[in-house]
Amino acid sequence: MGKYILSLDQGTTSSRAIIFSHSGEIIAIAQKEFTQIYPQAGWVEHDPNEIWSTQLAVATEVIAKASLKAHDINAIGITNQRETTIVWDRNTGKPIYNAIVWQDRRTSEYCNEIKRQGNAKFIQEKTGLIIDSYFSATKVRWILQNVEGAKQKAQNGELTFGTVDSWLIWNLTGGKVHVTDVSNASRTMIYNIHSLSWDDELLQFFDIPKSMLPEVKSSSEVYGQTAGNILAAQLPIAGIAGDQQSALFGQMCTQLGMVKNTYGTGCFMLMNIGKTPKTSTNNLLTTIAWQINGEVNYALEGSIFIAGAIVQWLRDEIGLIQKSADIEQLAQQVTDTLGVYIVPAFAGLGAPYWNQEARGTITGITRGTNKSHIARAALESIAYQTMDVLNAMQADAGTPITELRVDGGVTANNLLMQFQANLLGCDVIRPQVSEVTAIGAAYLAGLATGFWKDIEEIKSQWQISKTFAAQSDVDNAERIKGWQKAIKAAIANSLP
């Protein structure tokens, strides 16, 4: 029995592989970035073959980096960027179009049409999702309608659809296994989160043949083995979860009412709401968190499309900083933003606004505004958006939230984390293991193979690195009013 778990963390901008020990310690990490493709304004694509090649490369690299052999690996867990849509030929295994990324807005007008026709409610009741081009169904429909011959091939049973987890498993098993898990299925807008099945009425609505779909499994079970020529061993693939659900599990938010927020490219806040799905009345999503041993846990989710990406934008497009880490030092040179607010609605606004047409806006600039104010306003925009989602979540839950567990690269920024705690009026807790998304998938895989006995054994591994307590002497009322005005400006600035 192997002594380590290999976690494949396939993200929006890079593919990563991390090896964990039985004690939850990181043994080695490998990472490769891949190409972001922008065919036109609002469109975002990835090359599925590059997703696969970079993921395989880092999986091989990390085993070598750790000075291990493939047979030292007990199991593989997979976590992935969600909603990103790939359609490939069942016979050749070749994609018929680039992966359409979760950030892509090409189906926005079709989503608006669905709303105008009054179909939003029946879709939300089945899926827990709010109509938006974010989710997979409208992307699949677009591919079938716009790639020559695709519709006919799909009807003939020759095409296969999958989110990134399905695509990786198909390739890892040499085309033998076509599965997904409940957490990823619940993000497609064609999966019924109550009956736990692909929904025939929704498939008909979006005109997607059922033959294309992967088999839906739990988040923790053995789905198949890697093909012998891949990683030089037949290793069990035993855990799958979409990245945000995986982070919720990695943060050990296994009890009702526990909340985590992941600060990555976007920001994603999830609250464990237990074993019964509850439709949000405050513009949040209801999603499946995971299924383990036949038992399903649900979550409320608030999705913020642009968080850490605002820092990348200041670095790459504006040239304000040389590297992302520089932003904290630049922002610390001023004590406030001097009334400047940035609403980073580069891809519209997510929860709780769900305005696809809103665009990025900077307000409050004066002659005295300098680059430090801009840097600070960019960081604060992440905290304000998080506040909006947390307020909606508290309203849905009917109870105040006393702590927020945080993870993701941006949480290394102490200035932002303290501002976040002050703004929310609750403890912001950063764990010792920052790779919670990857470790969540590792835990799910290890539970399936008996590597870890049960969730209680895993809980003992979760440790706090730092707690940011809210400072009671800080009054944020005026700041929050300014933010609300800036949001109104971003919505008023919507595309026609």
Pick out the residues of the known binding site for sn-glycerol 3-phosphate.
Answer: 12, 82-83, 134, 243
* Binding residue numbers for ADP: 12, 16, 265, 308, 409, 413
Q: Contact, 422 vs 468, CB < 8 A?
A: no
Q: Contact, 296 vs 288, CB < 8 A?
A: yes
Distance CA 221, CA 292 (A): 8
- Before 400, cis peptide (omega within 30)? no
For tokens 């827990």, name the residue: 128
Q: Give CA 466 to chain center in angstroms.
A: 24
Distance CA 371, CA 444 (A): 44
Distance CA 179, CA 187 (A): 15
What is the chain's length?
496
* Binding residue numbers for glycerol: 82-83, 134, 243-244
Q: Is 209 exposed, middle or buried (0-12, 13-18, 19+ CB in 10 A)?
A: middle
478-491: b or e for each residue (b if 16 or more CB lie within 10 Å)? ebeebbeebbebbb
Listed residue (386, 216, 190, 237) closest to 290, CA to CA: 216
Distance CA 336, CA 5 (A): 45
Distance CA 408, CA 251 (A): 11
* Binding residue numbers for ATP: 12-14, 265, 308, 312, 409
Distance CA 420, CA 415 (A): 9
Q: List the Cα angle 239/242/243 in 5-degree steps.
A: 105
Contacts of 251 (CB under 8 A, 6+ apart): 258, 260, 405, 407, 431, 436, 440, 462
* Binding residue numbers: 12-14, 16, 82-83, 134, 243-244, 265, 308, 312, 409, 413
236-247: b or e for each residue (b if 16 or more CB lie within 10 Å)? bbbbbbbbbbbb
